[in-house]
Structures are given as C-alpha cells and as structure tokens.
Amino acid sequence: MLQSTRPLEGITVISLEHAIAAPFCTRQLADLGARVIKIERPGVGDFARGYDTRVSGLSSHFVWTNRSKESLTLNLKDEDGKKIIAKLLEEADVLVQNLAPGAAAGLGLSAAVLHKKHPRLIVCDISGYGEDGPYRDKKAYDLLIQSEGGFLSVTGTRDDMAKAGCSIADIAAGMYAYSNILAALIKRGRDGKGSHIDLSMLEALTEWMSFPMYYAYQGASQPVRSGAEHATIYPYGPFTAGDGKVVMLGLQNEREWKVFCEVVLQDPALAADERFSNNSRRHENRDALRALILKMFADMTAEQVVARLDEAQIANAHVSTMQDIWDHPQLAARGRWTEVGSPAGALPALLPPGVNDSYDYRMDAVPALGQHTDGILASLGYGAEQIAAMRERGAV
C-alpha cells in the first residue's frame, strides 16, 4: 500500500446534494482524499437512497456515488440548521449543490452572498440549464437532458430512439463539476481567491454531442440512429457468428479494410470491389456488405471469428453482460477490485480509473443516513443535550 498524502487531503467539501450529478462529483473529490460532508434531510435523506434495494438492501445508485463521505442530517430552514451550516462554511474549501433551481439562493447560500464572508470559498452550482436564460427554472432529470441535448436523436435504431443505459447526462455534469473544482483549487493556490462555478447538465452533455453537431454543420443531415453500429464508419458494430453469439468489431482505415478482407473474410478480391473501395462507399452499401460478412461468419463460432480478427489485428470486443463485467479477467488481472464498508456490510467496489504510483485512492464506507451527525456537531461545540433537543424537533 502506498503511503503518500492524497492530493486533496486537508480540503473540506460541504455538499447539498441528491440524485447523481453532485454526489458523483463529490465522491471523486473524496477518492482523492477530500473530507466530504454530505448534508441530508432529517429522516429522509438523499432520495437516491430509495431508488432500489439491489445491493444487500441498499440502493445501487447510492452505493456507487457516496462512499467515503460523512452524512450529516440538517434542516436548512431551521434556525439552528442555518447556524450549523454557517459554522461549517467557515472552515470549508468547497460548497457543491444541486438543489432545485433557486433553492440555494433562497437559503442565503448563493455564491454572491457567500463570497462576501468567505472570499476563498469555491462554490459549484449544478443545475439542469444554468443560472440564467429562458430555461433557468425548468426541472431537469437525466432522461430529459438526454432528450433536450440531442442525444436521443442519434441513439437507438432507425425506428426507435433509446436512452443510454446509465445516467449519462448526470455523469457528464458530475465529471465537469469535478474537473472545474480541481481547476478552481489550483487557481486559488495561485491567487488566493475562490470561484463560482455555474455548471449546466445541458452544456455538459452537448459538449459530448459535438461530433454529431459538427457532422450536421450548416444544416447538413445529422447521423442517423444506427443501433450498435457506427453511424458513419463501416463495418463497425455487432455481427452474429454461426453459434448465435455476437462479436463487436471495428475498422478505422483502408489498410485495415484490406487486411480484413484477406485474413478475416479470406476474400482478398473484395477489397477492390468498387462498392466497398472506401469508407463512404462501404457506408452507402452497408446492407450488401453486412450480408457478405454474415455469410462468412455463419460457418464460424464467435471465438473463431475473434481469433481471425486478432490475427488480422482488427479491433474487436465481446458484448459483455453485467455479470461478465463482475467476472472480467482484465479487471481481475489488474487488481481493480477492492471492498468498502456500508450499513449492509462489506461490498465490492471498483477502484477509480487511473493508477497513480504515488498514492492510493481513499475507499471508505458508504454512510448510513445521519451516521456522522453527532460527531460533526460535537466538533462544532454542541453538547449532547443540545443535539438531542435539535433532533427531537427535526432540526438535525
């Protein structure tokens, strides 16, 4: 085990968070050593705790995005609740929030107000559409942003659109919030000043849509929905072998096309067929080419197809299920699994992407609702009787 100090040790993050975008951001800050105090509603908590019970009675979303945090229950509308968060912010480096539009400002927690008292504080507001503009007050959930951001128009089949199987808009927003906060910390280290980060889910996802947007530049037709195939490169996608299993493969250039014909299809003359002589023609004639490929693969098992693809050094992949990922030999070989604690006991967890040779990631427990409330309040000078009284009336 590495012993070096983690990059964000000594950094305190206060997060008024729920669902995925903000929790995913702050979990990654915690991975790097930051102390993350998660503010949750007394008795209820982050509503993502109740999304499902698939992980030994815990929510799959919550387990994923909330390890290594401290859970503090706090009613921010209560006078004592307001005093407590004010005390926390005196020592905080970062405030992250993804409450409903205008909610943080209504609680006196806008960047403009906070920076008068705490000029070094980094405030990151995550919302669906940003703090201004005609969509400012619209509610935003992941699927709605996938739709508004154009993702659904290029994803699915020709007949049916399809959402991403994971919360891609939330993830995009969480990633950009995370990287913006890291940049703001570097900046503060240079000039001593805090920052306000206005992070929009729509803008995060539309950044990821830049290829199809440029493809449709100046009114040109946009990429068609093409299922698991690439919209503009062919052959690039799933092909079924004779044993019924699917192999995913992808060609990127004309050299690979020539080798694919020679080694995989064992038909060198096909490389010179005028219908398929460059990617544009292969794309235009993909139905005819697909039929030829499937005819060849019909007499082979999926593993035989993969063997030929590997011989030709053509990129390929299995179509993994979630169980395949749990059992994936590459993840196991690289030691990517560890365990974290939780209210349900020890749980397997993937280490964060990126192996750094100077420190280990922080991989602490997923907290129970309010698990750290008494300890945090005691550190702020509250006695046991005061804490009990506040809990009795629902302030914490």
Q: Which residues are tagged catalytic?
A: 230
The torsion defined by the Cα of 360, 365, 167 and 210, in degrees rounded to 10, comes to: -20
Reading the block at residue 73, the tokens are: 């229950």
Q: Angle at CA 69, nearest 5°, toward 174 and 124?
A: 35
Alpha-carbon separation of residue 143 from 148, 150, 208 (angstroms): 9, 11, 15
- Could you give the CA distance from residue 228 to residue 221 in angstroms, rounded to a whole number? 20
d(CA 114, CA 106): 13
Q: Is 227 within 8 Å of 237 (Cβ atoms)?
A: yes
- Report phi then psi at 140, rounded to 5: -140, 125
**Crossing angle for the helix pair 21-31 and 168-191, to the nearest 10 degrees:** 50
Name the E strands within 107-175. Answer: 122-127
Q: Are 180 and 96 in contact (CB under 8 A)?
A: no
Could you identify the residue written with the tokens 């943080």? 104
Structure tokens at 242: 């004779």
CA distances, 385 to each of 75, 186, 269, 330 (Å)? 18, 42, 86, 53
List C-alpha distances in Å: 293 to 269, 307, 314, 326.
Answer: 14, 16, 14, 31
Distance CA 151, CA 161 (A): 9
DSSP 76-105: TTSHHHHHHHHHHHHH-SEEEE--STTHHH
Q: How many CB atoms lie within 10 A of CB 245?
A: 14
Cβ pair 266, 259 in contact under 8 A: no
Q: Verify cis geometry, omega within 30 degrees of 0, for the bond prior to 235.
A: yes
